[in-house]
Structure 1
Amino acid sequence: MQESSKRVVVGVDGTSESQIALRWAVEAARTGGLAVRVVRAYLNQASEWPATAEGSIPEPPVDQYQAELDAAVEFVRDRLGYQAGSGWLVHAGPVDAILTEAADAQMVVVGTKFDSKLTAAVLGSVASTVTAKAPCPVVVVRGEARNGPILVGMDGSADSEDAVAFAFEQAARSDAPLTVAYCWQPQERHDAPITEMRALLQDWLVENIGTYADKYPGVAVRTRIIEGRPATALAELTDDTSLLVVGSRGRGGVTGLLLGSVSQSLLRHSRCPVAVVRRQVAAD
């Protein structure tokens, strides 16, 4: 078995969304030469019910959960080889189980519903909590995988720099083109004309990704200066995008507790998988 840090962790739960996430994780592992660790967690919530008679509390269908896990691991091994797939069935909450496995993983993948009134308002608790707390990049998969460029938002913050590094790495592995976007909102008054400001921002963006472009010369990269609020402007570009990459906090946020407002909004409204890259600091 490959060393644990060379693996992708994916959570499954028997839903179609988790199966889509599993397929995405396998493809990411294939392009990166990684193993896949499948986590199937469950809680015996029925054990908390008051029993009406001795022995009347139903047991959780552990055999069913095991069968789901076995099928997922077999799916991985059929595509990546026997040694590249492993699984863990655990009596625990899914968040705790995934975060335990994420401690030494390279990436975590979770699924969520692609289009519903519920996710338009509130992201699933598992996806949002794992994304906020995992010590590695988390990909929240919405809808089936598709071809297209990788899109990453950059704003000059440390988190966005980590996001750009991750995006370049993924683009190099998948042979996908990469777009690096900076979003800005022109004000009524500027020290310089808007056209001049756009040119200055374009030069700044090209300069700031120079190190990554040199490291990954095979990546076809373009830069874009986009007017508008970052969450809205980036979401509008995801119709033809294979992956959107963002930092977790940008210029604000609470370390280790909450995602930034931009990443939260994009997780709800992006029309493609979203990778959230959270910088780790000693205070976490």
Structure 2
Amino acid sequence: MSVRDVIVVGVDGSRESLEAARWAAARAKQSGWELDIVCAYALPSYTAASMDSGFAAVDDNAIEASAQAVVAEAAEHVASFGVTVATIAQQGDPTGTLVELSKSARMVVVGTRGGGGFADRLLGATSSALPAYSHCPVVVVPRHREGSEFVPVERIVAGVDGSHQSSAALEAAVGEAAAWDATLTAVEAVPMASSAGSLAWLPPAVDRSEILSDVRSQLRTLCDHASADTDVTVRAHALDGNAAMLLAEFSTAVDLVVVGSRGRGGVRGLLLGSTSQSVLSHSMCPVLVVPSRRSEDEHTPRPKWRRR
């Protein structure tokens, strides 16, 4: 299936989904892409017993009309961005619908919570279905905070751990930095200080600053490779600490956090790595989750990014 220059945003009429739509429209404008606004809905099923009990049947046409109103409101909400918008009100499971649409989209955007359980099904306490199964990058816009407003992406941080997935995330982060004309910092966490850290067993005589220096050198090489065909400058930092905690902390000072869908030790078919899940749960800014699925598809051309 060919990839279109389109961003898909899932909406449900909630304030959070309208914020996601604004983020998606702003991103589409940066690259001249189109925007598909989607509301997927399920029609209720009724048993014979419930019909005989006198329960009033919900008008299927009314449900469809409500979904049409949701996408129309979202389209009006983003009209000022001047991007080409298509609205889709479609019967079906919201998660499954967005995963299917992700096969031909550049990006899918959702909010963290919805009014009717839409995004709760995506990113509830026990599920991270869309970022885990999407065929393209997914941006998760966090729950609205009172007094917060949409801001363009000016500062990006990407989590790197040397895995294939994080390399794909770094390449995507370079693309985002080019599209937004934003600064980009790549961070690799080396958990040495805490007793739970993977390198906590190192003897005191080992120069831990030297270890961080070596990791940073390797990260610098990765960053140079990822940004080689662009005008983007990537700053590289190797820090002592837990990756999820560091990225969550960075999220309070940047405008976008980029992570891979699975890191080291990930098992194919598993939902999301623990770092990705934790960042999605605690980030104060939008999070871009980059799947490995499309990067492994040899039939999908890799876009060449240049700073605007």
Match of 1:136 in 2: 136
**1:251 matched to 2:269:** no
Q: Distance in 2 between matches of 1:276 and 1:253?
A: 15
Q: Distance in 2 between matches of 1:74 and 1:126?
A: 33
Residues 1:131 and 1:254: Cα distance change in structure 2 (over 3 Å) = same
Between 33-42 and 247-256, report the one with greater CA deviation.
247-256
Q: Distance in 2 between matches of 1:213 and 1:68?
A: 40
Shift of 1:103: 1.3
Q: Distance in 2 between matches of 1:171 and 1:25?
A: 15
Q: Map Cα deviations across residues 223-262 of structure 1 (whole Å, 9 max, x no partner).
A: 1111111111111111011100001111122323411111
Residues 1:126 and 1:260: Cα distance change in structure 2 (over 3 Å) = closer
**1:88 matched to 2:88:** yes
Contact in 2 for aligned 1:102/1:136 (Cα 8 Å) = yes
Q: Distance in 2 between matches of 1:214 and 1:225?
A: 21
Q: Map Cα deviations across residues 100-154 of structure 1 (whole Å, 9 max, x no partner).
A: 211100100011149xxxx9xx932798211110100011111454354101011
**SS where residue 40 of structure 1 aligns?**
strand
Q: Distance in 1 between matches of 2:91 and 2:227?
A: 45
Q: Distance in 1 between matches of 2:70 and 2:127?
A: 20
> Partner letter of residue 162 of structure 1?
A
Contact in 2 for aligned 1:150/1:243 (Cα 8 Å) = yes
Between 129-138 and 208-217, report the one with greater CA deviation.
208-217
Residues 1:170 and 1:245: Cα distance change in structure 2 (over 3 Å) = same
1:155-174 correspondence to structure 2 within 5 Å: 155-174=161-180
Q: Distance in 1 between matches of 2:170 and 2:240?
A: 20
**1:210 matched to 2:224:** yes
Q: Distance in 1 between matches of 2:226 and 2:15?
A: 36
**1:43 matched to 2:46:** no
Shift of 1:94: 0.6
Q: Map Cα deviations across residues 57-98 of structure 1 (whole Å, 9 max, x no partner).
A: 1224322221121222344455234xx211211111111111
Residues 1:80 and 1:47: Cα distance change in structure 2 (over 3 Å) = farther
Match of 2:285 in 1: 272
Shift of 1:21: 0.5
Match of 2:112 in 1: 112
Segments of structure 2 that go 5 or more residues without pairing to the other structure are: 193-199, 298-308
Shift of 1:23: 0.4
Between the two proteins, the alignment pairs up a number of residues equal to 271
Shift of 1:44: 1.8
Q: Distance in 2 between matches of 1:127 and 1:75?
A: 29
Shift of 1:195: 1.7
**1:262 matched to 2:264:** no
Segments of structure 1 that go 5 or more residues without pairing to the other structure are: none
Length-normalised TM-score, structure 2? 0.80
Length-normalised TM-score, structure 1? 0.87
1:147-162 correspondence to structure 2 within 5 Å: 147-162=153-168
Contact in 2 for aligned 1:131/1:138 (Cα 8 Å) = yes
**1:196 matched to 2:195:** no
**SS where residue 172 of structure 2 aligns?**
helix
Q: Distance in 2 between matches of 1:204 and 1:53?
A: 68
Percent sequence identity over aligned pairs:
34
Residues 1:172 and 1:199: Cα distance change in structure 2 (over 3 Å) = same
Q: Distance in 2 between matches of 1:125 and 1:44?
A: 25
**1:27 matched to 2:10:** no
Match of 2:69 in 1: 67
Q: Distance in 1 between matches of 2:264 and 2:224?
A: 22
Shift of 1:155: 0.8
Contact in 1 for aligned 2:212/2:239 (Cα 8 Å) = no
Q: Distance in 1 between matches of 2:242 and 2:42?
A: 40
Q: Distance in 1 between matches of 2:154 and 2:187?
A: 16
